[in-house]
Structure 1
Amino acid sequence: MKDDRALPSLNALRAFEAAARLRSVSLAAAELHVTHGAVSRQLRALEEELGLALFERDGRGIRPSAAGHRLLEASSAAFAQISDCAAALRRPQRDAAFVLGCPGSILARWVIPRLPDLQHDLPQLTLHLAAQEGDFTPRLEGLDAALMLGQAPWPPGWKVHTLAQERIGPVFSPAMPGAQLLAQQPPGALHEHALLHTRSRPQAWPTWAMRNGIDHQRLHYGTGFEHLYYLLEAAVAGLGVAIAPQPLVAEELARGRLVAPWGFVDTDGSWGLCTTRGDDPRVELLAQWLQRQLQG
C-alpha cells in the first residue's frame, strides 16, 4: 500500500512551486533553467502522484486550484526555510576568520608588510595570523592553512600549493666593517668570515656553498640565533654576513640597508601554502594571491 506520507519528487515540487508562484510554465522553465516540456512533465507527474488537479486554466495562463493553493503555501514555506538554513550554514565559514599559521620570521618580515595589499585585493577574506615557533604539527591543528618554506616529502594528508621556488643568498649591511672590500671579492672569500647563522635553518649555509662550488666544511660560523628574524636584524645592524631567503630581504635590498653581491641560488625547497582542508575555497584564493606576490 502506498505511504500517504511519502514525499513527492523534489524536482517536481520545485517545478510546481515556480509555476504556481509565477502562474506560468514558461516563466517557471526560465527560472529553473530547464525546458517548457520538462516543467510540464514534472507537473503532470505530480498531479498523477497526488491524484488531483493542481492547476486551472486562466485565460492563456494557469492558476493554482484550491488544492494547488494549499501545496503552494506549504512548498513555498518549506523551500524558504531550506534556503535560509543553507545560507546560515554557509555564513560561518564565509564570515569566520581564516586562520593562517606561519613562522614568526615570515610573518613579521613578509606577511605583515603586505597586509594592506592583501586586504585591498581580497576584501572578502578576514585573516587571523598565528605565529608558529618550531615545526608544524602533522594535522595543522587550529589552522586553516600554513605558509612555510619546506620541501617534499610533505606529511601525509597535506594538500600543498607550491607558490615559488626557494632562493637564498648571503646578505650584509654596507655599513659592516670591510663591507665594500668583501663585496668585490668572489664568494669563496666568506671562508675568512664568521658567518651569522640560525638554528631554525642549519642547512642554509651548506646548501648555498655547494650551489656555488664552495667546500661547506670550510665555512666558519659566528653568532647563532634562534630565529631567522633576529638573524636578519643582526645583519641589518652590521654585525656580520647572514644567509636569507630572497623575499625576506627584498625590501632591505631595495632600500640599500643590505647588499647581496653574489645574488641568490635555488634550493630544493619551496614556498608552500599547506592545508589539511580540501574543501575551503579560501585556500585556493589565498594561494593564488601569495603566488603572485612571491613571483611578481
Structure 2
Amino acid sequence: MSRELPSLNALRAFEATARLGSVSRAAEELHVTHGAISRQVRVLEEALDQPLFARHGRGIALTAAGEQLRDRVAGAFDQLRDGWAELQRSQAEGPFVLGCASSLLARWVIPRLDRLERDLPSLKLHLSPEEDPLAPQHAELDAALALRAAPWPTGWEVHELAPERIGPVVSPRYANLDRLLQDGESALRDEALLHTTSRPQAWPEWAELSGVSPASLHYGQGFTRLFYLLEAAVAGLGVAIAPAQLVQDDVKAGRLLAPWGFRQTQAQWILATPRRRSDHRVVALATWLRSALLDA
C-alpha cells in the first residue's frame, strides 16, 4: 500500500463533509460544486478501497473507516486553522515597519502621524529612516515609501500613489524676492540656486519642463539632504527646488512662496513591499497615503 498522502483538496472535501454532515453544505463552505465534493471523497475511498460514508435515511453517516479518518484529519485541520489565526493575530498586532528617506520622514510623514493614527488606529506604524529604503539590504522592511522613477527595483511590489511635482520655492524674507517676482522665471538664471547633491537633476529637470535652458542656470550652496536644503530656503538663504508635497505646509503657513508653481515629472510617490510578503495592512496604508498626497 502506498504511504503517499492523498491530495489536500480531497482531505479538505472529506473533512468539511464529515464536520458538516452534508455534501451540499461542504460544497457551499468550500465554494465548489456538489459534484466536486463527491469526486474528491471518492478519490479517498478508492485509495482506501472502502467507503467513508453510508446513506442514512435522507442523509449520510460516517462508516467506521470514515470515523477513524475524521478523527485524524479533523485534528490536523484544527491545528492548521489555529496556526493561521494566530499568525493573522500576530501580524495585525505587531508593528508595521515603514522605511523612508529622512527628508520625506521629517517633512511629510511625521507632520501627518496624528491623522494617520486616527484614520488607521489598528496600524502600529514603526518608522525606519533609510536614505535608500528600496536597497536590497532593506528587504526586511514591511514596506518602503519613496520618490522614484520607473523602472522599479526587482524584488518589490510597487503601489503607485501620486505623481511627483517639483518647483522653486523661496522665503518671503529673501533679499532678492521683489526682483524675482517682477522678472519671473527668467530671473532664476541670475540666481545662485540652492541645490541638493542627493538629487542633482532636479533643477535641470524643472528647467526643461519650464522652457528654461538648463545650461543657463548656475548653482550656489549645495546640501547633502533635501531636508537641509529646505531649511536653508525657509531661513531666506536663496531659492530651492522641491517636491510640492514636501513644502505644502510651509507654503500654506507663508514660510515659503512658490511663485512659479510646480511641474509634473516622470517620478512617482510609491509604496513598495517585498514581493515575498503578503500583508493586508499594505492596501489600507497605500489608500491612505494616496489620498493624503493628492491633497497637496
What TM-score results when the alignment is normalised by the length of structure 1? 0.82
Corresponding residue of 2:292: 293
Secondary structure in 1 matching 2:236: coil
Q: Counterparts in 2 of 1:101-180, with a 5 A limit? A: 101-133=99-131, 137-180=135-178
Q: Counterparts in 2 of 1:6-17, with a 5 A limit? A: 6-17=4-15
Corresponding residue of 2:24: 26
Gaps of 5+ in 2: none
Q: Distance in 2 between matches of 1:57 and 1:43?
A: 14
Secondary structure in 2 matching 1:129: strand
Name the stretch that deviates more: 108-117 or 283-292. Answer: 283-292
- Determine if contact 1:168/1:208 at 8 Å carries over to the other structure: yes
**Residue type at the aligned position of 2:293:** L
RMSD (CA atoms): 3.1
Q: Deviations over 1:58-116 (max 9, x none)?
A: 44333334443333222211211222233345555554433222211111111112223
Distance 1:258 1:82, change over 3 A: same
Residue 255 (structure 1) shift: 1.9
Name the stretch that deviates more: 221-230 or 285-294. Answer: 285-294
Q: Counterparts in 2 of 1:88-99, with a 5 A limit? A: 88-99=86-97
Corresponding residue of 1:270: 268
Corresponding residue of 2:183: 185
Q: Counterparts in 2 of 1:182-261, with a 5 A limit? A: 182-261=180-259
What TM-score results when the alignment is normalised by the length of structure 2? 0.82
Q: Deviations over 1:154-211 (max 9, x none)?
A: 5454544433332211111223334345323311222333332222222222332333
- Determine if contact 2:133/2:144 at 8 Å carries over to the other structure: no
Q: Distance in 2 between matches of 1:125 and 1:290?
A: 13
**Residue type at the aligned position of 1:148:** A
Name the stretch that deviates more: 282-291 or 194-203. Answer: 282-291
Selected match of 2:68 from 70, 73, 90: 70
Distance 1:238 1:75, change over 3 A: same
- Determine if contact 2:45/2:52 at 8 Å carries over to the other structure: yes
Q: Distance in 2 between matches of 1:13 and 1:142?
A: 35
**Residue type at the aligned position of 2:194:** L
Q: Distance in 1 between matches of 2:73 and 2:48?
A: 14
Corresponding residue of 2:83: 85
**Matched residues, number:** 294
Secondary structure in 2 matching 1:232: helix
Larger Rg: 1 or 2? Answer: 1
Q: Distance in 1 between matches of 2:183 and 2:256?
A: 17
Distance 1:283 1:33, change over 3 A: closer
Selected match of 2:58 from 42, 52, 60: 60
Q: Distance in 1 between matches of 2:118 and 2:111?
A: 13
Q: Distance in 2 between matches of 1:135 and 1:10?
A: 39
- Determine if contact 2:100/2:146 at 8 Å carries over to the other structure: yes
Name the stretch that deviates more: 254-263 or 272-281. Answer: 272-281
Q: Deviations over 1:200-253 (max 9, x none)?
A: 222222332333333444434333322111221222222322211111111111
Distance 1:51 1:99, change over 3 A: same
Secondary structure in 2 matching 1:184: helix
Secondary structure in 1 matching 2:112: helix
- Determine if contact 1:139/1:276 at 8 Å carries over to the other structure: no
Name the stretch that deviates more: 145-154 or 222-231. Answer: 145-154
Distance 1:8 1:267, change over 3 A: closer
- Determine if contact 2:133/2:146 at 8 Å carries over to the other structure: no
Q: Distance in 1 between matches of 2:79 and 2:133?
A: 46
Percent of residue pairs bearing the same amino acid type: 57
Distance 1:248 1:79, change over 3 A: same
**Residue type at the aligned position of 2:247:** V
Distance 1:42 1:128, change over 3 A: same
Gaps of 5+ in 1: none
- Determine if contact 1:144/1:277 at 8 Å carries over to the other structure: no
